[in-house]
Structures are given as structure tokens and as C-alpha cells.
């Protein structure tokens, strides 16, 4: 069972590297990431959260889970919405994060196919959250300095 990397592990702040779809490690890694996400009741998981600095994310959609390689946001709506988010790497912490309501994401599938996904509402939020991870950003980097300051004790406890 993969262990989830928690804040303040520096890997979470690193930019991930591109992954090639025929990288042999993916065959065991993807099922393990999906299992770890489900066991921890997450709706998405990015490779840095299991200690691997590669551009791989998994996302749930209802009962199904999907993997995306090298995902990138190519378009995002000006219309934004604030909603509460949590993160498996920041256990117990929930913050309101402003995100675009709609995004277009390009990615590659496990067989190397280039795809474009249009996501809205919760799905758009999950994509933005997970793509942030592979760019080295966490939800605490998406909030105001005041909101960060209010979380200072919780963050200190997580860093213990």
C-alpha cells in the first residue's frame, strides 16, 4: 500500500517531470495510485503525493477512476467559484479555494493517445487541484495571506 506524502515534504513543492506513456513503472503505479486514492477517500491523487515527481494524476468519476499523463490546462473560464477543498497531503485542513468553473485539459492516456477533456464544476475543480500538485502548488498556496495566517497553527501541527 502506497503511503501518502504529507505537508511539508518538499517534494510537494517541486515541479514534476513529464512522463512517457510507455514508461514500464506505470503498469503497477497506476493501479496502486487508484487504490491509495480510494482507500483514503480521495477524489483525485497526483504522483508527487506518493513521492514520485512525475506528471501523473488519477481522478475519480462516479465509480470509475481514470489516469492522465502530462495533463495541462489549456483553457479556463473567467467565471470562478469558491468552494471548500481538502487534500490528502494536508489531513484535516479545509479551505475555500477560488477556481474556474470550466476548464479544458489536454493529456495523454496510458496508450499514448492525446486527448482533450472539457470539465465543469466539481470535475473542473478536481483537475485544477491535481494539476496544481504536479506544478508544485497546494491549496494553501491558492488562498489569501490572511487565510493562510488563520491556518498557521494547523500548519505548524502538520509540520511536527
Binding site for Zn ion (CB under 5 A): 87
Distance between CA 63 and CA 52 in Å, rounded?
25
- Report the residue number, 52 or 87, with the smaller CB distance to Zn ion: 87
Q: CB 40 → Zn ion: shortest distance, Å?
A: 11
Q: CB 12 → Zn ion: shortest distance, Å?
A: 9
Residue 7 and residue 159 in contact, taking contact as beta carbons nearer than 8 Å: yes
**Lookup: cell for 92:** 484535516
Q: Which residue is nearest to Zn ion (CB)?
A: 87
- Report the residue number, 78 or 84, with the smaller CB distance to Zn ion: 84
Q: What residues contact residue 121 under an 8 Å CB cut-off, 6+ apart? A: 81, 101
- Report the residue number, 29 or 87, with the smaller CB distance to Zn ion: 87
Phi and psi, residue 104, nearest 5°: -115, 130
- Report the residue number, 21 or 66, with the smaller CB distance to Zn ion: 66
Distance between CA 136 and CA 20 in Å, rounded?
20
The three-state secondary structure class of 102 is strand
**Lookup: cell for 114:** 492525446
**Given the residues 64, 108, 130, 135, the one annotated as active site:** 130
Is 130 among the catalytic positions? Answer: yes
Q: CB 133 → Zn ion: shortest distance, Å?
A: 6
Distance between CA 108 and CA 20 in Å, rounded?
9
Which residues are designated catalytic? Answer: 130
Amino acid at each position: 500500500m502506497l503511503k501518502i506524502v504529507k505537508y511539508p515534504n518538499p517534494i510537494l513543492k517541486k515541479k514534476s517531470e513529464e512522463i512517457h506513456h510507455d514508461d514500464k513503472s506505470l503498469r503497477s503505479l497506476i493501479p496502486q495510485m487508484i487504490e491509495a486514492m480510494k482507500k483514503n477517500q480521495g477524489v483525485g491523487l497526483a504522483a508527487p503525493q506518493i513521492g514520485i515527481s512525475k506528471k501523473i494524476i488519477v481522478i475519480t468519476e462516479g465509480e470509475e477512476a481514470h489516469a492522465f499523463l502530462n495533463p495541462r490546462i489549456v483553457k479556463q473560464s473567467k467565471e470562478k467559484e469558491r468552494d471548500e477543498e481538502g487534500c490528502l497531503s494536508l489531513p484535516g485542513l479545509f479551505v475555500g479555494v477560488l477556481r474556474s468553473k470550466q476548464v479544458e485539459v489536454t493529456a495523454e492516456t496510458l496508450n499514448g493517445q492525446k486527448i482533450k477533456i472539457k470539465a465543469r464544476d466539481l470535475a473542473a475543480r478536481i483537475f485544477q487541484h491535481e494539476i496544481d500538485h504536479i506544478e508544485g502548488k497546494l491549496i494553501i498556496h491558492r488562498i489569501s495571506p490572511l487565510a493562510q495566517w488563520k491556518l498557521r497553527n494547523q500548519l505548524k501541527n502538520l509540520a511536527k
